[in-house]
DNA sequence: TATCTTTAGTTGTAGCTTCAAGTAAAAATC
DNA sequence: GATTTTTACTTGAAGCTACAACTAAAGATA
């Protein structure tokens, strides 16, 4: 389903597009590891582990169905299932079958897990600030939100982050 | 080395920062998989495999030292070494010890590898356009380049993409 | 109400990434 | 010129992710 080569849809990218593309690719390659380092050191948690726990700790009643948790962490159900199993083994979350619909598993953060996230949050916020927001001015932050949401929308028009209107 | 809580450096993020943060995190989580799908289907190549081969094919004499290739793909030498070994096993690259400095290994794309990338490039460009640039207007593209370069600069001030001046 | 389809999640496995440790050559220091 | 340090990788193993196949419950259809 490829369009033919034409001036309107050129084969490669313009100079501006290439600069943006390389910057985006480098960012997506480097940022996760840079964000994870401190979490790994402090608590042997991956960035994804942290996000799973953070999403649960922010949820009302500290519980979410696996599907909803997968949506909020942009993960497949398979990936999430493996990780929640691991976190359960560490005593940070629990799993329970939903009463009304036995297909649904609800994950709940434990007191230990909640305490861990509470203790880790300041460190993680500092990492995020240091790597991202300290590098950007106010206009950049607004632009980043706008652009990021557009890219996410292109991949998943119903993505969780789009439920909240743009600020 | 954490700063104390204060109004100047608040504990969590502002509403604008949170929107930008969630958009960035979702993008870095979803985009690599979305970019990789077509490459995986068409040629059993990961996105990183593709980038390695693409960087080699763009290099003069189709050869780069492992360190330079690692820099251009934002990868660790370890990661690159494993992947180049695999690609060598598939006949897509070759490795040779540098004559002047025996510590240096130079990776070279083979004719087969170069042909593969040439054939795959239009597909990949279409994927990149569809996922990224079709979602953005001209201003977004300029903003993305500017913001991405700032974030990369914060992680690695000497990063390869910064050698090229901003357009 | 029996069957079919869809939804929600789990599991096994292959392959990829990271980390720590190791090798060997070159450069620096003594 | 002998030792030490640094540079440029390579390697093995542990853990993570993606994919395909599977289970089981709920909803739809007949």
In order, the DSSP letters of chain A are: -PPPP-SSS-SS--HHHHHHHHHHHHHHHHHHHHHHHHHHHHHS--HHHHHHHHHHHHSGGGEEEHHHHHHHTT--HHHHHHHHHHHHHTTSEEEEE-SS-TT-EEEEE-HHHHHHHHHHHHHHHHHHHHHTGGG--HHHHHHHHHHHHHHHHHH-TT-GGGGSPP-
Q: Do A136 and B121 touch (CB under 8 A)?
A: no
DSSP 8-state secondary structure symbol assigned to residue B160: G
Which positions in strand C are less than 7 Å from the protein's CB atoms?
A: 7-13, 16-21, 24-27
| Mean pLDDT for all residues in chain A | 94
Rounded Cα distance between A85 and A106, Å, is 12
Q: Between the CA atoms of B143, B146, B149 and B151, what dihedral angle is there, to the nearest 10 degrees? A: -70
At residue A2, the pLDDT reads 46
Q: Which domain holds residue A81?
A: 43-125
CATH number of domain containing B94: 1.10.10.10
Query: Does residue A97 lie in a domain region?
Result: yes
Residue A25 belongs to some domain of the structure: no
pLDDT confidence of A34, banded at 50, 70, 90?
Answer: very high
Q: Is residue B152 part of a domain?
A: yes
Q: Does residue A65 form part of some domain? A: yes
Q: Is residue A91 part of a domain?
A: yes
What percentage of chain A exceeds 90 in pLDDT?
A: 92
List, in order, residues 6 or more apart from A6 with CB less than 8 Å away: none
Q: What whole-number distance in Å separates Cα of residue A72 and Cα of residue B22? A: 10
Q: A10 falls in which pLDDT band (50, 70, 90)?
A: confident
Q: Supply the pLDDT for residue A3.
A: 45
Whether A28 has a pLDDT exceeding 60, the answer reads yes
What total of structural domains would you count in chain A? 1
pLDDT at A55 over 60: yes
Nearest residue, CA→C1' of C10: A81
Residue B33 lies in a domain: no
Residues A50, A51, A56, CA angle at the centre, nearest 5°? Answer: 100
pLDDT for B3? 45
At A75, list the tokens: 């993960």
Rounded CA separation A104/A100 (Å): 9
Question: Do B145 and B112 sit in the same domain of this protein?
Answer: no
The terminus-to-terminus CA distance of chain A in angstroms comes to 37
Between the two ends of chain B, the Cα-to-Cα distance in Å is: 37
Please indicate, yes or no, if residue B99 is contained in any of the structural domains: yes
How many Å lie between the alpha carbon of A67 and the closest alpha carbon of chain B?
A: 16
Residues 72-131 of A with CB under 8 A from B: 73-75, 121-123, 125-126, 128-131
> How does strand A63-65 pair with strand B105-109?
unpaired
- Gap from A107 CA to C7 C1', Å: 18
Q: pLDDT digit of tens for each residue in chain B (167 aa)?
A: 444 555 667 778 999 999 999 999 999 999 999 999 999 999 999 999 999 999 999 999 999 999 999 999 999 999 999 999 999 999 999 999 999 999 999 999 999 999 999 999 999 999 999 999 999 999 999 999 999 999 999 999 999 999 999 87
- Is the pLDDT at A64 greater than 60? The verdict is yes
pLDDT at residue A8 tops 90 = no
Question: Which residues have CB under 8 Å from B116's CB, separation 6+?
Answer: B43, B45, B53, B92
Copy the structure tokens of residue B127. Answer: 């994927």
Q: Has residue A5 got a pLDDT over 70?
A: no
Contact A106, A84 (CB under 8 A): no
User: Which two three-digit tokens encode residue B154?
Assistant: 């914060």
Quick one: which H or E segment has residue B108?
strand B105-109
pLDDT at A98 over 50: yes
Cβ–Cβ gap B136/A150 under 8 Å: yes
Same-domain pairing of B55 and B117: yes
ipTM of the complex: 0.92
Determine, yes or no, domain membership for A34: no
Residue B47 near residue B32, CB atoms below 8 Å: yes
**Domain identity same for B95 and B141:** no
């Amino acid at each position: 389903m490829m369009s033919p080569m034409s001036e309107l849809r050129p084969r490669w990218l313009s100079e501006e597009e290439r600069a943006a593309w390389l910057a985006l690719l480098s960012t997506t390659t480097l940022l996760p590891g840079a964000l994870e380092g401190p979490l790994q050191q402090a608590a042997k948690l991956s960035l994804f582990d942290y996000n799973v726990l953070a999403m649960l700790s922010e949820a009302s009643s500290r519980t979410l169905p696996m599907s909803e948790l997968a949506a909020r962490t942009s993960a497949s159900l398979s990936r999430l299932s493996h990780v929640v199993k691991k976190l359960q083994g560490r005593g940070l979350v629990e799993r329970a079958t939903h009463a009304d619909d036995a297909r649904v598993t609800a994950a709940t953060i434990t007191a230990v897990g909640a305490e861990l996230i509470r203790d880790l949050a300041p460190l993680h916020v500092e990492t995020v600030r240091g790597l991202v927001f300290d590098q950007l001015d106010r206009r950049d932050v607004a632009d980043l939100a706008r652009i990021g949401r557009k890219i996410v929308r292109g991949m998943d028009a119903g993505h969780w982050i789009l439920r909240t209107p743009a600020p």
